[in-house]
């Protein structure tokens, strides 16, 4: 399927009408007056006199970027089998209060996302036909004045959509299809294709250099842990260096502190932070963003055998700080300790952000509507919150006060990895990570446990969302724009 841009209408087999609540219906749809009000996600199929299909799609009263993306995606996914080859959307009229680029990117992402197939390993599956087949075309009509901006938005959405699709496939893959090496292989292939460097630190080198926190989580698995280091460093880099660290647990049993069996199969998703980082690195390189971005993914499985780390064990992290393991199911923060340690020791970025599907507690606090944001830097907080509101990948700031430090106090080590308390678990995890940032002045932790896997139209159980890629790309672009203004 391809997206084509026009400044005048062309012949298509179907038209999609994007309608704000109580907006007058197009003339061809007057027959639906009274049956369609434009409520969010409301849809109605109307046939013209010539048999032409007209899909009416409601956006609600005040549509946002997220509204366009999800409403369009749901329509195209649900009607996938009925969609003809050529579909048109006219964007020359009202856009519900948004500018054309603001609307066009999520719209195209929604159309691309509507073609996603969660049945990754189903046998006998037919190849896509119709709109999502090779000859499918989306025809978008814009004014001549908007043409250049619209084409840029389409190109940008196509790049982001490809990265999201790749990360959806990785995150939705069962663990036997994606040991840590699979993440490494993907990163290496992406780096070669798009011009950024990738270094893989394997098990033996991790042991030689003392990445014992990462090794301790992975020592119960026959699939050795790895540290993936991606470095996009363009010659035209002018903005700050940004370091991104993503939790890459490709399956999490909880270790010796084993999880209940119910829903454990969803723990293939515990690499949502890694997916956000890997996807963002590829997008940054393909869009040629003018700033250096370094992505680090500590990748491992957390499973059980006779060699697995035990509760009460004390390990020495890469930075030399000792960790008492109270709960082996609090493993994400342990591997991030070494990922952050590598970043502050070898990269020393101007901005440091880690992302992880870290705690159920953040879901208890925020539900499935926002990720938790932890930082002591007000400027960084504002920039990330703005990017989240812009993309619909929202964040909500939670405290990082030193009053919570007692949760880390260990009798035998520098820190412990779990407080044992049934309260403020997300904050305690953030305070743990803070220990391994070397007091970085512009560090933020994003707990995305409620956002990286969600209920969607793609399947009957929770599946991946590729959350974080659009958020981080918007954040990076904001930094680049600020740097350009500062130099101007």
Q: What are the tens digits of pLDDT across the range 473-484?
A: 999 999 999 988
With 0-12 CB in 10 A as exposed, 13-18 as middle and 19+ as buried, what is 453?
A: buried
Mean pLDDT of 392-421: 96
pLDDT tens per residue, range 93-120: 766 656 787 899 999 999 999 999 999 9
**Domain 174-487: which CATH class?**
alpha beta
Where do the structural domains in the chain lie, given as residue ranges? 2-118+126-159, 174-487
Q: pTM score, two decimals?
A: 0.96
Binding residues, by number, are 247, 252, 270, 329, 331
Give the residue numbers marked as catalytic: 259, 333
Q: Which residues pair with 438 in a beta bridge?
A: none
Handedness of CA 90, 94, 95, 99 (dihedral sign): positive
Structurally, at CATH architecture level, domain 2-118+126-159 sits in 3-Layer(aba) Sandwich (3.40)
pLDDT tens per residue, range 232-250: 999 989 999 999 999 999 9
Q: Does the structure show a pLDDT above 90 at 488? A: no
CA-based R_g, the chain, Å: 23
CB contact at 8 A, 253 and 267: yes
CB contact at 8 A, 396 and 366: yes
Binding residues for Mn(2+), by number, are 247, 252, 270, 329, 331
Least confident range of 94-108, 123-137, 233-247, 304-318? 94-108
Q: Does the structure show a pLDDT above 80 at 29? A: no
Residue 265 pLDDT grade (very low, low, confident, very high; cuts 50, 70, 90): very high
């Amino acid at each position: 399927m391809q997206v084509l841009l026009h400044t005048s209408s062309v012949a298509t087999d179907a038209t999609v009408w994007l309608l704000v609540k109580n907006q007058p219906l197009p003339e061809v749809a007057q027959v639906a007056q009274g049956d369609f009000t434009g409520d969010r996600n409301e849809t109605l199929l109307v046939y013209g006199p010539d048999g032409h299909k007209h899909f009416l799609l409601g956006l609600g009263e005040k549509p946002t970027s997220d509204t366009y993306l999800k409403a369009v995606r749901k329509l195209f996914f649900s009607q996938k089998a009925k969609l003809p080859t050529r579909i048109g959307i006219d964007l020359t009229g009202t856009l519900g209060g948004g500018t054309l680029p603001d609307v066009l990117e999520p719209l195209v992402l929604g159309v691309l996302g509507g073609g996603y197939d969660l049945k990754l390993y189903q046998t006998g599956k037919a190849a896509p036909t119709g709109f999502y087949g090779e000859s499918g075309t989306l025809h978008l009509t814009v004014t001549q004045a908007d043409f250049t901006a619209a084409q840029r938005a389409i190109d940008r959405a196509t790049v982001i959509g490809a990265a999201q699709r790749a990360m959806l496939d990785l995150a939705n893959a069962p663990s036997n299809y994606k040991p840590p090496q699979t993440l490494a292989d993907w990163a290496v292939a992406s780096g070669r294709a798009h011009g950024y460097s990738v270094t893989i630190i394997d098990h033996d080198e991790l042991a030689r250099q003392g990445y014992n926190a990462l090794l301790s989580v992975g020592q119960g698995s026959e699939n050795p842990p790895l540290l993936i280091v991606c470095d996009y460093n363009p010659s035209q880099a002018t903005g700050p260096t940004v370091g991104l660290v993503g939790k890459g647990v490709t399956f999490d049993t909880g270790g010796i502190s084993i999880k209940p069996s119910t829903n454990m199969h969803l723990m293939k998703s515990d690499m949502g932070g890694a997916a956000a980082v890997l996807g963002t690195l590829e997008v940054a390189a393909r869009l040629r963003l003018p700033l250096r971005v370094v992505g680090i993914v500590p990748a491992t499985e957390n499973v059980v055998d006779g060699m697995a780390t035990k509760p009460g064990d004390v390990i020495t992290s890469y930075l030399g700080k000792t960790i008492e393991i109270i709960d082996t199911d609090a493993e994400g923060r342990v591997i991030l300790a070494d990922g952050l340690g590598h970043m502050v020791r070898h990269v020393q970025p101007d901005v440091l952000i880690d992302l992880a599907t870290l705690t159920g507690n953040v879901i208890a606090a925020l539900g499935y509507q926002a990720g938790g944001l932890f930082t002591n830097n007000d400027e960084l907080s504002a920039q990330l919150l703005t990017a989240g509101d812009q993309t619909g990948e929202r964040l909500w700031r939670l405290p990082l006060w030193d009053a919570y430090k007692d949760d880390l106090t260990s009798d035998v080590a520098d820190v412990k990895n779990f407080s044992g308390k049934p309260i403020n678990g997300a904050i305690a995890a953030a305070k743990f990570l803070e220990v391994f940032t070397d007091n970085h002045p512009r560090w933020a932790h994003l707990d995305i446990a409620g956002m990286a896997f969600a209920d969607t139209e793609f399947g009957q159980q929770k599946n991946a969302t590729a959350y974080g890629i659009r958020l981080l790309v918007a954040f990076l672009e904001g930094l680049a724009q600020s740097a350009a203004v500062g130099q101007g």
